[in-house]
Amino acid sequence: ASCTVGRLEGGVCKTEAEAPLECPEGFTSTCDAKSAPVSKCCLQHQIEDAQFVCPDGTTEATDGRCKRLTRFTPTYECPAGFLYEDGYCSRKEPGNLVTSCGVRGRLTADNTCLTTVPASVVYECPQGYQCADAGQKHGFCTECVRREITPVSCGCDFGAVEVNGACYKEEDARKCKGDKEWKKMLDALETDNDFNAADSKKEPCGADAPKCRCQPGAYLECKKGECVCVTEDITAVVPRCLDHTDASGDCVKEVKSAPSYQCDEGQECEIVGKKNECQCVQKYRTEYTLSCGAGVLIDGDCFAVDYLSKTYSCPPTFNVVCKGTNCECQRSVYAARIASCNDSQVFSKKCKATAAPEFACKKVRTISCYLSESMTPSYLRQGELVDGNCVKKHYAVQICDA
């Protein structure tokens, strides 16, 4: 067997050839001699229909035009003489700095503030009264007492006779008629002479001491033989204001102080200058109005209205290409060439083709075999191809290449 092209391997003829580089299907080659195998020189134009729409950021109005709203900040307009400040239209005028003594103070002629404040109150006993002992135990007085002393009234009981400070009952006197002391007492009474029972060696017969009594509400108090009647009046302590009371009865006092300086009622203090001085101003405020000029006011914001024409729109990466009035979306896609073999070839770095070998017999050399002279020369024949094999005839030897 032999191969007319290629070489015989494994019973088949194998042929190798460089794979040609071709653009993918649908691509047009723009390659030249300088293009490398990996160069993307294959071009394909992809086309999509262009949409005639409003540009981004616009909306289509009822008349078919494209409307665009541009938002901007409104201006604040104030009446003449007013300026916009802190959400209002305000106008300033110079104010007045006035003295002030606060809510409870008053300004005197000598430019001094007199402020009425609560004064101290003490609790003490009224005049003529003294603090009771029970109140002093707690460190302050809660109860006061006044003592009135009157002479005691002493005398003999009914039916008794008082003689020289002693009381004698009549029945006792009859029993004592024989008593010498009794007689001395009677004699003294008759002569108006004093009779001192203490000088006598014994008490007169039947003598009793006079009984001392006090008026209702008083009690008897005796010290060292002297008795007096005592009347006590108990009362509570009373408050005493250490300064003076006002018309409401409150205990108050007046405190002097320097006046403070502030802006007049309805005015404001503005700090000005390096010394942070207060400058009083009278502010007048009024409402402002919003203005959008040629724009439109919508919910407190201004919008400018522009109208644009519709334009052709393409998908991403596509470009609009117009020829006359016809427009379409195009994009150019580039690709590299790929190796290509024909249908009978297999690509493996190169295009490889296989084919069946051809079988033929070739006469390399001829050997004539003569069996014997007795054999007939007509038996001498050449070899033949039989079923793909070279068959040797017995009368000759034929060498065939396979």
pLDDT category at 140 given cuts 50, 70, 90 is confident
- Residue found under tokens 């007689």: 183
Whole-number average pLDDT of the chain: 78
| Predicted pLDDT of residue 261 | 82
| Predicted pLDDT of residue 205 | 62
Could you tell me the maximum CA-CA distance found in the chain, to the nearest angstrom?
245
pLDDT over 90 at 204, yes or no: no
Q: What is the distance between the alpha carbons of residues 228 and 39, in angstroms, rounded to a whole number? A: 147
Q: What is the distance between the alpha carbons of residues 124 and 240, in angstroms, rounded to a whole number? A: 7
pTM: 0.31
Q: Does 228 or 344 have the greater pLDDT score?
A: 228
Percentage with pLDDT > 70 across the chain: 71
Question: 9-13, 332-336, 366-370: which has the minimum mean pLDDT?
Answer: 366-370
Percentage with pLDDT > 90 across the chain: 19
Residue extents of the structural domains in the chain: 7-51+314-355, 75-95+264-291, 153-213, 366-398
Mean pLDDT of 9-27: 78
| Predicted pLDDT of residue 341 | 75
| Predicted pLDDT of residue 377 | 42
User: CA quadruple 190, 193, 196, 202: dihedral positive or negative?
Assistant: negative
| Predicted pLDDT of residue 226 | 83
What is the per-residue pLDDT across 247-297, written as a single tens digit (0 to 9) for each? Answer: 999 999 999 998 888 888 888 888 877 777 788 999 898 999 999 988 888
**Exposure string for 307-325, b = 16+ CB within 10 A, e = fewer:** eeeebeebeeebeebeeee
Q: Does 278 or 54 have the greater pLDDT score?
A: 54
Q: What is the distance between the alpha carbons of residues 316 and 342, in angstroms, rounded to a whole number? A: 38
pLDDT category at 231 given cuts 50, 70, 90 is very high
